[in-house]
Amino acid sequence: MDQQHKDPLHGITLEKIVTELVRHYGWEELGERIKINCFTNNPGIKSSLTFLRKTPWARKKVEDLYVKTSEK
């Protein structure tokens, strides 16, 4: 149980993560920071979530950016 409390992503949905990153950076800067088509080519929350749920490496990059951004 202590492990869950140490996880900064515990209880945070992928949708919330993407929404917060878009609010903070905007699609253009988000696409520059994480080079994936779902952020640069006709971006949207729904299409990004679909891609990220199927692509572990991309999801990890998004989660890492969210944690880094949240620490500021």
Q: What is the CATH number of the domain that holds 44?
A: 1.10.720.30
28-55 residue pLDDT tens:
999 999 999 999 999 999 999 999 999 9
Q: What's the CA gap between 10 and 4, in Å, rounded?
A: 6
Q: How confident is the model at residue 4 (pLDDT cuts 50, 70, 90)?
A: low
Radius of gyration from C-alpha coordinates of the chain: 12
Domain membership of residue 5 (yes or no) is no
Tell whether 39 is covered by a domain.
yes
Q: How many domains does the chain have?
A: 1
What would the two tokens of residue 8 be?
A: 């900064």
pLDDT confidence of residue 5: 66
pTM for this predicted structure: 0.88
Q: Is 50 exceeded by the pLDDT of residue 1?
A: no
The boundaries of the domain holding residue 17 are: 11-70
